[in-house]
Amino acid sequence: QVQLVESGGGLVQPGGSLRLSCAASGHIFSSATMGWFRQAPGKEREFVVAINWSAGSTDYGDSVKGRFTVSRDNAKNTLYLQMNSLKPEDTAVYYCAAAMFLGLGSTDYQRRRIGSYPYWGQGTQVTVSS
């Protein structure tokens, strides 16, 4: 039903910036929540940020607050993640995810849970290193 494709990853120095994109095919429901997750080598997949597709309300993980900014272009069916002040610990594969019926009224736990998202992209590698 929905396909997500991430792009924009690469190698960046500590303190640098990078912008990731997630292009979605298929219809994104107004009730949808979309999110970014990441997974570093040897670690579990980690919640980064979630955004309500229609309202634009956001929920950021503590490790990225003040550094990362999520946005979306509804007309283009595209989700973005602007990453600033990057640290080596940000190195991971970044995944875009979508949940069609996880809208307003959902709990923080629901928005941050991997199992809440039926649709996932293939991921894009972000490496922060000198």
Q: Give pLDDT, residue 28.
A: 83
d(CA 10, CA 8): 7
- Residue-wise pLDDT for 3-44, tens only, equals 999 999 999 999 999 999 999 998 888 889 999 999 999 999
- Residue-wise pLDDT for 86-125, tens only, equals 999 999 999 999 999 887 778 889 999 999 999 999 999 9
Is the pLDDT at 128 greater than 80, yes or no?
yes
Q: Which helix (H) or strand (E) holds 80?
A: strand 78-83
Q: Give pLDDT, residue 27.
A: 83
Q: Give pLDDT, residue 3.
A: 96
Tell which residue, 130, 9, 127, 25, has the closest CA to residue 76: 25
d(CA 48, CA 17): 16
